[in-house]
Amino acid sequence: MATPIPPAPPPNPHHLLLHRPPALTPPRRLRLPIRRPRIASAAAATATATAPDDIAQLNHRLRVLVRRRDAASSASSASSSMDPVQAEAYLHMIREQQRLGLRQLRRDPAGQKEERDSGVDDGDEEEEGGGRRKGMAAGSSLGHRVDPRELEPGEYVVHKKVGVGKFVCISGEDGEDYVFIQYADAMAKLAVDQAARMLYRYNLPHEKKRPRSLSKLNDPSTWEKRRLKGKLAVQKMVVNLMELYLQRMRQRRSPYTRPEAIDQFAAEFPYEPTPDQNQAFIDVEKDLTERETPMDRLICGDVGFGKTEVAMRAIFIVVSAGYQAMVLAPTVILANQHYDVMSDRFSSYPDIKIAIFSGAQSKEEKDELITQIKSGHLQIIVGTHALLTERMAYNNLGLLVVDEEQKFGVQQKEKIASYKSSIDVLTLSATPIPRTLYLALTGFRDASLMSTPPPERVAVKTYVSAFSRERALSAIKLELKRGGQVFYVVPRIKDDVLQFLKDSLPDVPMAVAHGKKVSKNIQLAMEKFSCGEIKILVCTHIIESGIDIPNANTMIVQYAELFGLAQLYQLRGRVGRSGREGFTYLFYTDKSLLSRIAMDRLGAIEEHSDLGQGFHVAEKDMGIRGFGSMFGEQQSGDVANVGIDLFFDMLFDSLSKVDQFCINPVPYKDVQLDINISAHLSSEYISYLENPVELLNEAAKAAEKDIWTLTQFTEDLRRQYGKEPRDMELLLKKLYVRRMAADLGICRIYPSGKTIIMKTNMNKKVFRLMVEAMASETHRNSLTLTGKEIKAELLVTLPDTLLLNWLFHCLADCYAVMPALVKY
C-alpha cells in the first residue's frame, strides 16, 4: 500500500500564483481554449470535492520549499545545471575562500595547517584530546565548545550526543574530577576531559536563556531528531550561501589595467602604511586588475586605521581607466570629511574632478551636479543616500565605496546590494553588520582585516561604573587641565544634564549638538568645537561617525546601558586620535536595573579596550544580540533546537566540507522507469479534451524542462478541466517520478521481487542527509545505499500501479532535501 505523505492544506490557485517559483524563463502555459469546464465522469466529480490528492499535496510542498528560500538563491537553483568542470573550479575557489576567511582573516596560520592535515571526517565523531574542533579559528567567540571549569551552577549546556541539560557542579571522586549534569530523568557524570570535548553552552537567539525542556538520558531519539533538524537547517544555509556566491562569480567584467601612475600616487601617502594596510592594498589591487568578476570586498578596521586610503587607491585605479566612482556615506558630516580628504589627496591630478552631493543642497545645485555626472565631467562623486535616488544617472560608473553600511536603512541597503551584480563594490566598516560579518567569517565574502594600529595611536582607557556627578566632573576637569576638550554623550538631551554641567562649570564654554539630521546649528556647534572655541560638546550619538577633533581626548557617556555595543565602540574611536592618551567613561544608571544584554555589552566594550578590536566587537555583538537580524525568524527557530554554539559548530563543519554535499542531476530523457503503465485514457475524457495529443506532448515537454514547469502544467490543467480521471493521474505521476528521479541523480528504477532498485550517482553523505530529512519513517527505514544503488525493501510485492504510487511518495519525501544540496 502506498505510504501517505504528511497532509497539507488545500492549495489556493490564486495564492499559489503569487508565489510562483522563479525561473530564468517563465514556464509555458497550456495553449488550451477557455471554456466552461465539465466533469468527465462521476469519479472525477467525487475527486474534486474531496481533500487534495497526492499531486496537489506535492505541488503545495514544492511551493512551500521555494517560498522559504531567498529569492536570489531560488532563482539560482531553478536555473539550468552547471558544467561539472566549471562547478568544480567554483567549489575549489569557495573552499579556498572559506579557508582564508576563517584562517588568514583571524591570523591563525596553525589552523591553516591543521585543516589541510585533518583530511575529511564525518563531523559527528568525538575528537581525541581536549583541543578545539577541527576547522575552528583560535580565539573565536562563536561556535566553540565550553571548558566545564568555566561553567556556573545552573547554566544550561548541550551535550552533542545526549542533548540539553543543566550544569550542577564539578566534584572529585577517586582522585579524578567529574562533571555532573542534570537531565530530565537522571543525573549524568562525565570525566572533565570528555566533557570538554562534547559540551557547549546553550545560548539562544535574542535574550532567551531557558530551553523548552531538558533532554532525557533514556530517550536519545528525541534529541537526535532535534539535532538532525538543526543539521539540515545548517546545510540549507550553506547551500544558500553557495548559490549566492556562485551567482556573483558568474558575473563578468574585464580586469582593469594597472595605471602607471599608481606607484606615484601611493608614494604621495604621507604616512608609513601598517602591514595590514599594505595587505589590504594588495588585496584590492588584485581584485581590480587580476579578477574577471566584480569586486565585493569588506575592509574592516578601527576609526583612523587607514581604510579611506585603501578606498582612494581603488578609486585611482578605476578612474584612471575612464570610469566613475561613487563614495557613499551615511551622514552629511562624514560625506564632507571624505570630500575634504579626497580633494586634498587628488589635488595633484587636475583631470580627476570631485564633487559632493547631499540632501542639504538646493534643487538647482543638485540638478547641475546630476548634469555633470551624467555627462562624465565628474569622476568622483561623494555623497549621502541622496546618491541612490532614481534621478541619479551616471555616465560610466565602475566603483561604489560604502562607508559604515550598517547605518543605512533597509531600502538603501537593498539599493546598494543591487549594484553588486554589475560594478565593483568596496565596503568600509569598523563594526560590520551581522550578515556582513557572518559572510566574512564563513569565507563567502572577500574581507581584509586591518587590526594593526598606526604607530602614533595609543589605546583608549575605558572605565565602566555607575554614574556619579563627582566622577564625571573629575574626568572633565582632568581633561580640561591638560588643555583638551570633552565629548559628553547622552542618548537624548535633557535639561537636567545641561543644567548640571552649567552649574558645575559656569566658566567653561560648551555647546549642544543633537537631532537625527545634521542641521546648520549642529554644524556651527561642531565647527566651534573643532577650532577649540568650545571645550565641552554635549551631544547624542550623531557624532559617532564623521567628526575628527584631535584635541578631544575624553568622552563621557551617560546612560551607557541604552547604547548598542557597536555604537559605544564607534563613539570611543572619536577620542585618542592625536597620539595623546584618550579616556572613555561609560556610566550606567543602576546596576540592579541593568538587563543581561546591557551588562554583556558594557562588559564587552571594557574587555575589548585594545586598538584594532572592531572586528571582534562586531563578532561579540552578533553573539549578544542574537541571530534574528542575521538569519531571520525561521533560522532563529532552527538555532533554538540546539543552541547557538552547537549550531555554529555544525555550520563551520558543513562549510569546511561544502563540496561533499553536491548532487549531479541526470538528463530527464536518460531516466529509465521499468514499470509497465501505459496511458489508456477513456474515450469520454479524450473527447472532452480540445486536443489530447497536443496536451500529452505538452505534459512530456513540461516534465523534461523542470519540476516547476511540470507543476505549473498540472495546475493549469486542473484549473481548466477540473480533476483528471485515474488513468490521467497515473500518467502525470509517472512524469513526476521521472522528473524527481532526474533531479536526484537517479538514472534507472526497476523492481526485483520485493525490492525496488534505483541506479544513482549519489554519494553516501548526500544519501545520509536525504534519509535523515525524510518525513516518513517507513521510507526512511526501507532505504539503503550499496555502491551506486539505492535499494528499498518492501514487505510485499506490489502491482505496478501501487508500485508507482509508492515511488511517487518516496521520491517526494526525498525531494525535501533538495534545498540543502548544491546542484551541478
Answer yes or no: are the C-beta atoms of 824 and 76 closer than 8 Å: no
* Whole-angstrom distance, CA of residue 239 vs CA of residue 655: 9
DSSP letters, 590-643, are -GGG--HHHHHHHHHHHH--STT-HHHHHHHHHHHH-SHHHH-HHHHHHHHHH-
Domain segments of the chain as ranges: 148-222, 250-450, 460-610, 662-823
Enumerate residues 6+ apart whose C-beta is below 8 A from 466. 587, 588, 589, 590, 591
The residue assigned the cell 524542462 is 705
- Residue among 555, 719, 643 at smallest CA distance from 29: 719
Task: Report the alpha-carbon angle 683-684-686, nearest 5.
Answer: 60
- pTM recorded for the entire structure: 0.61
CATH number of 250-450: 3.40.50.300
In single-letter form, the type of residue at position 51 comes to A
- Write a three-state SS string for 422-463: CCEEEEEECCCCHHHHHHHHCCCCEEEEECCCCCCCCCCEEE
DSSP labels, 506-557? TTS-EEEE-SSS--HHHHHHHHHHHTTS-SEEEE-GGGGSS---TTEEEEEE
8 Å CB contact between 726 and 754: no
The confidence score (pLDDT) of residue 346 equals: 96
* Neighbour count for residue 111 (Cβ, 10 Å): 20
Beta carbons of 636 and 628 less than 8 angstroms apart: yes
What kind of fold does domain 662-823 have according to CATH? Answer: Aspartate Aminotransferase, domain 1 (3.90.1150)
Is 413 exposed, middle or buried, given 0-12, 13-18 or 19+ CB atoms closer than 10 A? middle
C-alpha cell at 3: 505510504
Taking CA atoms, 342 is separated from 32, 316, 522, 657, 751, in Å, by 64, 11, 23, 44, 73
Computed on alpha carbons and rounded to an integer, the radius of gyration of the chain in Å comes to: 31
With beta carbons less than 8 A apart as the criterion, state whether 223 and 643 touch: no
Q: How far apart are CA 815 and CA 579, in angstroms?
A: 62
pLDDT value at position 29? 44
Residue 626 backbone class (left: φ over 0; alpha: ψ -120 to 50; beta: rest): left
Tell me if 804 sits within 8 A of 734, measured CB to CB: yes
What is the rounded CA–CA span in Å between residue 736 and residue 730? 10
Indicate the pairing of strand 552-558 with strand 485-489. Answer: parallel
Residues 6+ apart with CB under 8 A from 388: 328, 412, 415, 416
Is domain 148-222 in CATH 2.40.10.170, yes or no?
yes
Q: Which residues contact 301 (CB under 8 A, 6 or more apart)?
A: 276, 280, 307, 428, 430, 449, 450, 451, 612, 614
Sequence-distant (≥ 6) Cβ neighbours of residue 76 within 8 angstroms:
243, 244, 246, 247
Provide the pLDDT for residue 2. Answer: 36
Name every residue whose Cβ is closer than 8 Å to that of residue 498 and which is 6 or more positions away in sequence: 512, 538
User: To which residue does cell 565628474 refer?
Assistant: 378
Number of Cβ within 10 Å of residue 204's Cβ equals: 18
Under 8 Å between Cβ of 140 and 442: no
Does 3.40.50.720 match the CATH number of domain 460-610?
no
Q: What backbone torsions phi and psi does residue 709 show, to the nearest 5 degrees?
A: -65, -40
Within this chain, domains 148-222 and 662-823 share the same CATH topology: no
pLDDT value of position 389: 83
Residues of the chain with pLDDT under 50: 1-51, 69-82, 102, 104-143, 205-207, 626-633, 824
Residues in Cβ contact with 238 at an 8 Å cutoff, skipping those fewer than 6 apart:
651, 654, 655, 658, 661, 820
Residue 623, Cα to own-chain centre: how many angstroms? 14
pLDDT of residue 442: 62
Residue 95: predicted pLDDT: 60
Say what the pLDDT of residue 687 is: 85
DSSP SS3 for 173: strand
Task: Please write down the HEC assignment for all residues of 747-806.
Answer: EEEEEECCEEEEEECCCHHHHHHHHHHCCCHHHHHHEEEECCEEEEECCCCCCHHHHHHH
CB 205 within 8 A of CB 650: no
- Separation CA 204–CA 773 (nearest Å): 23
Asked whether 324 and 392 are in contact (CB, 8 A), the reply is: no
Task: Name which of 392, 377, 402 is nearest 319 in CA terms.
Answer: 377
